[in-house]
Amino acid sequence: MQVQPLTVSKLCKTKSLIAVNNLFPGPVVYADEEDTVVVNVTNNCQYNITIHWHGIRQIRSGWADGPVYITQCPLQTGDTYQYKFKIQRQSGTLWWHAHDTWLRGTVHGAIVVFPKTGVPYPFHYPREEHIILIGEWWNANVEDVESQSLLTGGAPQLSDAYTINGHPGPLYNCSSQGKLFLFVFPNEHYLLRIVNVALNQELFFTVANHNLTVVEIDGDFTKPYTTSTIFLTPGQSTTALFITNQPTAKYYMGASPYSSAAGVPFPTTPTLAIVEYQGSSNSTPPVMPTFPATNDTGLVANFSASLRSLADTTHPEPVPQTVDRSLLFTIGLGTKPCGENRVCQGIAGTKLTASMNNISFVLPDIALLQAYYNNISGVFTRDFPDTPPIVFNYTGTPPNNTTPQRGTRLLVIPYNANVQMVFQDTSILGVENHPIHVHGYSFYIVGQGTGNFNSSQTSTFNLFDPPRRNTVGVPVGGWAAIRFKADNPGVWYIHCHLEVHTMWGLTMAFIVLNGARANETLPPPPPDLPRC
């Protein structure tokens, strides 16, 4: 992979962006389950870069995970690094993206993992498969958008369009600069591999007059679930079948926004692409889909609650029935002082920030995995709290003090422990849906609800066939509970996949500890690991 500038034109404007192999979106990585994947990444752009293989379990290959200053230092201009990992216990649709600042807005692409040779799909074999990446577009440089927001302390500039495979579609100006067509035959099955690659926007996806049957999410097959609308947070992938069983015509498929934060502005114009039946008339315009209301939280909750995994007692990673380590993490926004003799654009002249368990995460100057492996002191502490240090009515009236602590504090989890994490939304500066991504693991979403979580709600958990994902949407004003077995030693990142929240500190990291010394249980770092 060559990371380099690329000149593109959209929305009647031409700009230079950072892309991979002169492609936007970037190239697709195809592999079979149990394959070993080797990718050489060379940084030929002016920014530092890393690549994260989103959803890949990275079992004992944490050096290849990619989040900057967590598992590696960045590739500087001219550097090359070889990412090498084996795909284990998963198949389906995943994706890769830059994991240093906002570069993933343009540096991203799909990963398609087919089942092992001789293993069929657990659903009707499609005539064709198509990759659908739904995202956002800025006319401005996304790095400048991020830098300006961090400088002023306020919310970042809104995106100028939503996109499907990089194309805004016909509802935007200069749509002739790129349209996406999907040509289909009547009465056939087609498989759509859909990924939300947006930086900051949760999205609905639909195809006019057609149902979609979900068969896989985040690299794990599901029991079939048929719906007219799919919901995806940034970071989530969903694979769905649709049958071309409607009258011969053209139909729009599209993505539209879901916004759960009251009073926060967002772009509202959907992005569209065309599904064209063989033999359809060129003179008849495509059928427009009916999009959900932008605040349809009920649809989001129903979609999430309807997903079921194929998990049973024979699954290589079954649902943990007992818990060795129970954790409760509050998540939300906050403020911090602007600085002497300055007025910022956050609440009451402050800077906006974010935190987990009232700790706004600070990235170190050396990668945490390197510091852990080499036993370098002074980089991090091992005292991230299991529960919120300040107890209050999390979804009710917020506390007066909205300034969190700051630090590089890690959580330590024993190897092979059955872990339960509950993510609790808070009302500090307003409730909203948060997509939380866990690196190094897939997990079961055993429960979700509104209001404040309490331990009695574990009796309602689905421990039979809960959905298995790597990114969970924590409901607006509510909570989500996940379980996994901590069987992958290393240092792993947890963060909100709204990039604006990540840059504000809504992240944390944890160590899965196997033995007294990391260099006795983890493979050594590759010789070309970037230097700090």
pLDDT in tens, 53-70: 999 999 999 999 999 999
| Residues paired with 108 in a beta bridge | 97
Nearest Cα residue to 44 out of 89, 86, 6, 71:
6
The reported pLDDT for the residue numbered 186 is: 98
Q: Are 241 and 213 in contact (CB under 8 A)?
A: yes
119 alpha-carbon distance from chain centroid? 28
Residue 7 to residue 16: CA distance in whole angstroms = 4
pLDDT in tens, 27-45: 999 999 999 999 999 999 9
The reported pLDDT for the residue numbered 371 is: 96
Residue 521 has pLDDT above 90, yes or no: no
- SS3 category, 62: helix
- What global pTM score does this model have? 0.97
Per cent of the chain over pLDDT 70 is: 98
Domains of the chain in start order, with CATH, are 1-117 (2.60.40.420), 123-309 (2.60.40.420), 325-512 (2.60.40.420)
pLDDT in tens, 268-295: 999 999 999 999 998 899 999 999 999 9
35 alpha-carbon distance from chain centroid? 23
Residue 335 has pLDDT above 90, yes or no: yes
Mean pLDDT lowest among 28-37, 98-107, 178-187, 224-233: 178-187
pLDDT averaged over the chain? 96
The reported pLDDT for the residue numbered 88 is: 95
Nearest Cα residue to 84 out of 525, 532, 531:
525
pLDDT in tens, 365-387: 999 999 999 999 999 999 999 99
* Mean pLDDT along residues 450-477: 97
Burial of 25: CB neighbours in 10 Å, binned 0-12, 13-18, 19+: buried
pLDDT in tens, 241-274: 999 999 999 999 999 999 999 999 999 999 999 9
464 alpha-carbon distance from chain centroid? 25
Categorize the per-residue pLDDT at 220 as very low, low, confident or very high, splitting at 50, 70 and 90: very high
Categorize the per-residue pLDDT at 404 as very low, low, confident or very high, splitting at 50, 70 and 90: very high
Mean pLDDT lowest among 223-227, 374-378, 517-521: 517-521
Residue 176 has pLDDT above 70, yes or no: no
Per cent of the chain over pLDDT 90 is: 93
